[in-house]
Amino acid sequence: MTTTPAANPYAAGCAWIEGEFVPIGEARIPILDTGFTRSDLTYDVAAVWKRQFFRLDDHLERLERSCQTLRLQLPKPRAEIRDLMVECVRRGGFDESFVEVVVTRGIPVPGERDPRTATQRLYVYAVPYVWIVKPELQQHGVDVIIAQETIRIPTDAVDPRVKNFHWADLTRGLFEAYDRGATLALMTDGRGNITEGAGFNIFAVRQDGSLITAKDGVLEGITRRTVIEIARADGREVHVGDLRVDDLVDASEVFLTSTAGGVMPVATVDGVRPHDECPGPVTRLLRDRYWDLHADSEHTFNVDV
């Protein structure tokens, strides 16, 4: 008589909550956690590709900086958080994974509203890799619009360099995109400057082959940083500053960057095609180099699943 191995309970995802690993479908947070009631938290997301974490230390460094900005105490040392992330991937048996760490203010003392009375809480989970623009759509590029009904939350209200769950403006932008027959929305600051979208940064390729991406009003994405490094190492000029709506109109190519999808080509902006060929040559080159780095031991380490 033969027996079949039991199904992996973590195959859909593995979470670490309150000291134990649980299947993602069973993961719960306390309803009084101010991360839920106030969106008082920060988080970061790293990716595993072909069983290798990519630039994990950069993600953890950003998480630490974000905690400091929000006056949150990191609940565990960075090395322990790293180990928890690895273990979530290992238990899930993932070759490609999307791994998130969330630090919340926590639950305040009963009857108190003073955030200083709360003890910070840590949540870690890994799920199969998430694509903002799926690979089959990347073959021809994604249609985007420049949002007109909603602007990005002003930076003097919410610092976009600190990853957060303040997504009301981004979600409204997505619905505007759907209503206008597109997939994604590019948000502006209301003054003609392009900022970012729902989980991604934005690049324009100028006619001379140089790149321009926004400096203000954006998360300083790890994929964004990687693309800038690749381009400059290749001798290509990269301008990090104001990214005007007109820059997209005049661009020869437009692409998006994110941990959830890498370098993602844009087919049309407000129905206008920047380049007859999509992906364009610069986008293809940067995308190939980006994924090649996922096999570079300088930026990766292997997860034994």
User: In the chain, what are the domain boundaries?
Assistant: 14-128, 135-294
% of the chain surpassing 90 pLDDT:
92
Specify the DSSP element, H or E, that contains 125: strand 119-128
- Here the tokens at position 142 are 């994604």
CA-based end-to-end distance of the chain = 28
DSSP letter at 182 equals: -
Smallest CA-to-CA distance from 291 within 252, 264, 266 is with 264
Could you name the CATH architecture of 14-128?
A: 2-Layer Sandwich (3.30)
- Residue 162 and residue 143: Cα distance in Å, rounded? 27
Contact 278, 141 (CB under 8 A): yes
Question: Does 284 score more than 80 pLDDT?
Answer: yes
Residue type, 248: L
**154: three-class secondary structure by DSSP:** coil
What CATH number labels 135-294? Answer: 3.20.10.10
Smallest CA-to-CA distance from 162 within 234, 72, 96 is with 72
Peptide bond preceding 281: is omega within 30 degrees of 0, i.e. cis?
no
Condensed to tens digits (0 to 9), the pLDDT of residues 66-102 reads: 999 999 999 999 999 999 999 999 999 999 999 999 9
How many C-beta atoms surround the C-beta of residue 199 within 10 A? 19
Condensed to tens digits (0 to 9), the pLDDT of residues 152-180 reads: 999 999 999 999 999 999 999 999 999 99
Q: Residue 228 CA to chain centroid, in angstroms?
A: 16
**Which whole number is the average pLDDT over 108-135?**
95
List Cα–Cα distances, 202 to 65, 73, 80, in angstroms: 23, 31, 33
Q: Categorize the per-residue pLDDT at 3 as very low, low, confident or very high, splitting at 50, 70 and 90.
A: very low
**256: three-class secondary structure by DSSP:** strand
Condensed to tens digits (0 to 9), the pLDDT of residues 213-250 reads: 999 999 999 999 999 999 999 999 999 999 999 999 99
- Residue 232 and residue 230: Cα distance in Å, rounded? 6
Q: Given phi > 0 = left and psi -120 to 50 = alpha, else beta, which region is 303?
A: beta
Angle between helices 222-233 and 56-70 (to 10 degrees): 130
For the four alpha carbons of 221, 224, 230 and 232, in that order, the dihedral sign comes to negative
- Residue 48 and residue 32: Cα distance in Å, rounded? 32
Contact 286, 263 (CB under 8 A): yes
Angle between helices 281-292 and 222-233 (to 10 degrees): 110
- Residue 184 and residue 257: Cα distance in Å, rounded? 13
